């Protein structure tokens, strides 16, 4: 599925989502590899097959196969770390903060792409998954890599738009009884 086909599936009740998707695609705040890595990682975080297919198709036009795999790695490892660190952050028992995570996360230190891109993709997924600890860690890494606040905010805005596209398409399928 292509992004324009995805856009056509967004129902009229979500016209703002359609407009945001269109403006997001025209936005050049981030370099193409960074932008499409955010879109792919965020799409994977939505767990919506149509959104994933559209974003992966678009990303494949500007990213190497290795970079595509790394965006998928960012989504996968953040699925794990977001759950764990969100628990540690939200649990009342402070003892959990002193315990080692014992989760393999080597890809974070050696992602195979620029570490700032990986952190940007991870930030987008962490925003969707609502992990404050991970958001803070990735934002700090991005600031240390000299990304400005508008670039960081753009990645999170793109994640929000991708998430809203998935929700709108799923809501429309429930209205019509179709599968997504």
Catalytic residues: 131, 134
Phi then psi dihedrals of residue 37, to 5 deg: -65, -40
Interaxial angle between packed helices 132-144 and 65-90, expressed in degrees from 0 to 180 and rounded to the nearest 10: 130
CA distance 153 to 127: 11
CA distance 11 to 169: 7
Two structure tokens written together for 29:
């705040």
Q: Is the dihedral of CA 102, 107, 47, 13 positive or negative?
A: positive
- Count CA atoms within 13 Å of residue 177 on its CB side: 0
Two structure tokens written together for 169:
């398409």
The separation between the first and the last C-alpha atoms of the chain, rounded to the nearest angstrom, is 12
| Contact predicate 4/50, CB 8 Å | no
């Amino acid at each position: 599925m292509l992004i324009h086909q995805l856009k056509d599936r967004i129902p009229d009740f979500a016209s703002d989502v359609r407009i945001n998707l269109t403006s997001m695609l025209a936005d050049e705040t981030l370099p193409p590899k960074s932008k499409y890595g955010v879109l792919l990682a965020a799409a994977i975080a939505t767990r919506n097959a149509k959104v994933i297919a559209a974003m992966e198709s678009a990303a494949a036009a500007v990213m190497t196969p290795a970079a595509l795999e790394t965006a998928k790695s960012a989504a996968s490892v953040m699925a794990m770390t977001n759950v764990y660190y969100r628990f540690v952050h939200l649990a009342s028992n402070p003892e959990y903060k002193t315990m080692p995570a014992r989760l393999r996360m080597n890809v974070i230190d050696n992602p195979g792409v620029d570490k700032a891109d990986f952190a940007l993709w991870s930030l987008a997924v962490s925003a969707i998954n609502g992990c404050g600890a991970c958001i803070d860690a990735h934002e700090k890494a991005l600031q240390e890599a000299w990304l400005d606040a508008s670039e960081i905010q753009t990645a999170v805005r793109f994640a929000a738009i991708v998430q809203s596209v998935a929700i709108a398409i799923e809501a429309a399928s429930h209205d019509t009884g179709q599968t997504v």
